[in-house]
Amino acid sequence: MFFLKNIILIIPIFYFGFTNSSFSQIYPIYNEIPSIAVVDQEALFRKSKWGKDILNQIELLVSSLNTENETIKNNLELEELILTEKRKIVSKSEFNVMTFDFDLKVKKIRTQQADKQNNINSLLNNKRALFFKKSTPILLTLINDLGVEVLLNKDMVALASLKSDITQIAIKRIDEILKD
């Protein structure tokens, strides 16, 4: 009998407790969730026509520099071989002067070639910066058109749904607008 009385007392508590409107509130409280999208900035650059053109230009410059470096290397190896042969026929002091001059020449060439590589790297960095400067207004218009409130770099996001990635749409829009 004690058990039956307790059940009868518990049933009204459950009934009135769960019909209370405070328990039926739906979470989250906010009705509108801000729209957030992600974009892969590296892909924007690498896969857009503008970025591909820049990368092709840089690749040609690097290839040309590599060819030049190979030619210089072969010439220096030949010069070193000739210098080694001269060692047999010149005095030690004269040979030391020749090797000192050769070392200075090699160091100068290394510096010049490193400067050329640095110039290529600077050109790439400047072109990338220009690309993102020109594409920023395009991205702003795109996210406004899509109703996106926040655009994040994909590399800064731990997880995101595939729907939130607008990289391909952005590339298409950039290609339509950035012609030169």
CB 169 within 8 A of CB 145: no
Rounded Cα–Cα distance for residues 127 and 21 (Å): 60
Rg (CA), the chain: 35
Summarize pLDDT for 74-130 with one digit per residue, the tens.
Answer: 999 999 999 999 998 999 999 999 999 999 999 999 999 999 999 999 999 999 999
Q: Report which of 130, 133, 131, 123 is spatially closest to residue 59, judged by C-alpha positions.
A: 123
Q: Report which of 148, 166, 141 is spatially closest to residue 33, judged by C-alpha positions.
A: 148
**Residue partners of 51: CB distance under 8 A and separation at least 6:** 44, 45, 131
Q: Is the pLDDT of residue 177 over 70?
A: yes
Rounded Cα–Cα distance for residues 96 and 162 (Å): 67
**Residue partners of 48: CB distance under 8 A and separation at least 6:** 131, 135, 171, 174, 175, 178
Q: What is the total count of domains within the chain?
A: 1
- Please state, rounded to an integer, the average pLDDT across all residues of the chain: 84
Summarize pLDDT for 9-40 with one digit per residue, the tens.
Answer: 444 444 444 455 454 444 444 344 458 889 99
Rounded Cα–Cα distance for residues 126 and 93 (Å): 49
pLDDT given at position 134: 96
Per-residue pLDDT, averaged over 41-47, amounts to 96
Q: Which residue has the tokens 């050109």?
A: 123
What does pTM read for this prediction?
0.72
Read off the tokens for 120.
């290529």
Read off the tokens for 75.
């010439």
Per-residue pLDDT, averaged over 140-154, amounts to 89
**Residue partners of 102: CB distance under 8 A and separation at least 6:** 79, 80, 83
Per-residue pLDDT, averaged over 130-155, amounts to 92
Q: Is the pLDDT of residue 68 over 90?
A: yes
pLDDT given at position 180: 63
pLDDT given at position 176: 94
CA 1 to chain centre: 74
Q: Note down the domain range covering 44.
A: 2-177
Q: Which residue has the higher pLDDT, 55 or 21?
A: 55
